[in-house]
Amino acid sequence: MENAAAGLTFRDATDTDVDILVALIESAYRGDDSRVGWTTEADILEGRRTDPEGVLEVVKGPDGKLLVAERDGTVVACCQLEHRGTHAYFGMFAVSPGLQGAGLGKVVIAEAERRAREDWGATEMHMTVISVREDLIAWYERRGYRRTGRMSPFPYGEERFGIPLRADLQFELLVKPLV
């Protein structure tokens, strides 16, 4: 197996990346293309995961960034980082489905944690994950994240976040100390 970090470069996303990033995020989570990887939400949600407006909002946000991982000039992964006082928020994480399972996600999340700690002095990383995504939560737990049991409601009726295929969706806060 090739070293997942080999040839990988990181940069902050710009306006010109929006369409590529929307396509990447959609391919990692929704529709038949997402079934190539293991992060698919296609069995619990239909419709879009994000849209150009949502991605641009993160890119332009004053307290954060959308971190892009490239290999050979091709965008292969991304994640949102937002500075929220003593902690940072991690979201909009996507790895190209055909590259999932090879360690790339581990490299990206480690870089995000490093930047949150070094750039902002963040002492914790927070994220929210749909609570029924046990396989994904287990992956984060192996990276040092802890379930908090603190839930927030899924935005039912807001199709810009997807069309739920089940009635029990909610988000759980996961937290990892960065020091």
23, 88, 146 from 126: Cα distances, Å: 25, 6, 10
Return d(Cα 153, Cα 171) in angstroms, integer.
Answer: 6
Return d(Cα 177, Cα 33) in angstroms, integer.
Answer: 34
Return d(Cα 68, Cα 119) in angstroms, integer.
Answer: 16
pLDDT band at 58; cut points 50, 70, 90: very high
pLDDT above 70 coverage of the chain, percent = 93
To the question of pTM greater than 0.85 for the whole model, the response is yes
Beta bridge partners of 9: 70
DSSP secondary structure letter of residue 116:
H
Per-residue pLDDT of 9-29, as tens digits, reads 999 999 999 999 999 998 887
DSSP secondary structure letter of residue 86:
T
